[in-house]
Amino acid sequence: MTIEKMEIQRLGDLKTALGECPVWHGQQLWLMDCRLGLILALNPGTGAVTARHEVPPPLGSFAFNGDDGDCIVLSLKEEIAALNLRNGQLRTLARIEASHPHLRLNDGTSLADGSFVVGTMHVFREPGEAPLGGLYRLDARLHLHKLDDGLGITNGPCVNPVSRRLHVADSAARVIYSYEIAADGTLADKQVFVRTDDHDSGPDGCCFDDEGGLWTALVRTGALARFDMQGRLTHRIDLPVAHPSALCFGGPEMADLFVTTISDSGRLSASGPLDGAVLKLTGSGFRGAARPVCRMPV
């Protein structure tokens, strides 16, 4: 289904190599350029860069920590760390057990209990080689728990606001899984939510609208897809870029969609006029919700 009144525009003039992890926070759009080690805030109206922080690349994802807005939790190559946005101090919170030149932490999100869930990507594997790493949860006491394994490229972890199930994409396998989350943060009842082979792309970043619809970036086909709670495609939006990477809802009424894109990820590249730009989509007819914040003692 198409959305007749939707408008797609470029937000500002920023061009990222590997734009990822858009987060609406404090009435601004935050995002990463993972290859360059940059965390940026943009004015959602003009696209002007209002904050810029540097950390050692590669970056995977981040979430705000606490209510003050001056600290974030972020995934580095094999570490989860906290960055003080006021003084630039970087503190390691946890380290995963696996290490490999082609393994790194990738996409993650904050959960309502204050924890941070993040998964790995293990690329350039031999045929039949099992991926290292997996899906992890750092709880609010700074205890690291391994939740699942066997994920080749983890992307888009997010919680359905209606069913409360955690959804996690494996871009390499072209599948999105869903899990039941227990009160102690453990996962159960793993199910295949949707496979995206028919769309000629793995799913990348994901987010939910308030109706329980899952939106994902089809990174190899330049489009967004929305699936209902039964995993049925309801909308597909073609974008003027080759490789959209992630998306989030934001804006004063949480009705705008912001999309990050890729110009050169190291594995994907494109040189069109909007590749690497941040896109702002208005008029979708859907609304989202702001992410919770982490509650780490940092």
Q: What is the mean pLDDT of each run of 10 residues along the chain (298 residues)?
A: 84 98 98 97 98 97 95 98 97 97 98 97 95 98 98 98 98 98 95 97 98 98 98 97 98 97 96 97 96 95
- Show Cβ contacts of residue 141 under 8 Å, excluding neighbours closer than 6 positions: 297
- Residue 239's pLDDT is 98
CB 80 within 8 A of CB 74: yes
CB 126 within 8 A of CB 108: no
- Residue 283's pLDDT is 96
- Residue 3's pLDDT is 74
- Residue 298's pLDDT is 86
Question: By C-alpha distance, which of 78, 159, 57 is closest to 115?
Answer: 159
Buried b (16+ CB within 10 A) or exposed e, 161-173: eeeebbbbbbbbb
Question: By C-alpha distance, which of 184, 185, 122 is closest to 149?
Answer: 122
Q: Any idea which residue has 């001056």 for tokens? A: 70
- Residue 108's pLDDT is 98
- Residue 121's pLDDT is 98
Whole-number Å distance between alpha carbons of 227 and 213: 6
**Catalytic residue IDs:** 204
- Residue 1's pLDDT is 67
CB 215 within 8 A of CB 225: yes
Whole-number Å distance between alpha carbons of 46 and 230: 37
Per DSSP, 290 falls in state P
158 is written with which tokens? 């997010």
Task: Name the pairing type of β-strands 154-159 and 144-148.
Answer: unpaired
Question: By C-alpha distance, which of 175, 167, 217 is closest to 19?
Answer: 217
- Residue 5's pLDDT is 82
